[in-house]
């Protein structure tokens, strides 16, 4: 069942709303991140590896990793919000499980509990190297629907 949800696409209207909002984010543009999937309650964001997003030992920086995780969760929630609303993060926590190395990292935000006001999301970040995915960070987030 979850496998099917990973590939389900949001409506064209929701995809357009999410992409337009994402395109206005200065930080995501600065980092070079892009959305790779928009589904109902699920968004994937890819961040290519390059020196500007790494720390001193060449791993993806925790700040960059956390930023794309937060953004993926925020937009996952936003896919379920009414059209004339906005999304803001109330809180999030990320556990870094392993150094993130590879061609890119992929953050996946998945809605666990939607709500009229507050929504809770699971955050996962995978590093991808030679077509091998490795879970490098996990977390949870609470978001608010703002009218």
Helices (H) and strands (E) in the chain, counts: 4, 6
Q: What CATH number is associated with residue 81?
A: 3.10.129.10
Residue 72 sits in which domain range?
2-146
* Per-residue pLDDT at 1 exceeds 50: no
Q: What is the mean pLDDT of the chain?
A: 95
Cα gap 102→13, rounded to integer Å? 33
Give the model confidence (pLDDT) of 34-61 as tens digits.
999 999 999 999 999 999 999 999 999 9
| CA dist list (Å): 27 to 33, 39, 64 | 9, 22, 10
The tally of CA atoms less than 13 A away on the side-chain side of residue 18 is: 30
The residue among 23 and 131 whose pLDDT is bigger is 23
Q: What is the mean pLDDT of residues 93-116?
A: 97
* Per-residue pLDDT at 10 exceeds 80: yes
Q: Say which residues have a Cβ less than 8 Å from residue 144's Cβ, sequence separation at least 6.
A: 87, 88, 90, 117, 118, 119
Confidence band for 3, pLDDT divided at 50, 70 and 90: low
Number of domains in the chain: 1
Give the model confidence (pLDDT) of 25-41 as tens digits.
999 999 999 999 999 99
Determine the pLDDT at residue 7.
Answer: 77
């Amino acid at each position: 069942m979850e496998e099917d949800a990973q590939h389900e696409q949001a409506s064209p209207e929701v995809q357009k709303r999410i992409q337009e909002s994402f395109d206005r984010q200065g930080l995501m543009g600065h980092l070079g991140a892009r959305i790779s999937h928009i589904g109902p309650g699920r968004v994937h964001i890819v961040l290519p590896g390059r020196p500007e997003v790494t720390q001193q030992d060449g791993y993806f920086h925790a700040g960059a990793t956390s930023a794309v995780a937060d953004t993926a969760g925020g937009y996952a929630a936003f896919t379920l919000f009414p059209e004339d609303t906005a999304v803001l993060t109330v809180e999030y926590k990320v556990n870094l499980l392993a150094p993130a190395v590879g061609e890119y990292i992929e953050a996946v935000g998945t809605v666990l509990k939607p709500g009229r006001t507050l929504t809770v999301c699971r955050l996962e970040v995978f590093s991808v190297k030679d077509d091998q995915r490795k879970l490098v960070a996990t977390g949870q987030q609470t978001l608010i629907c703002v009218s």
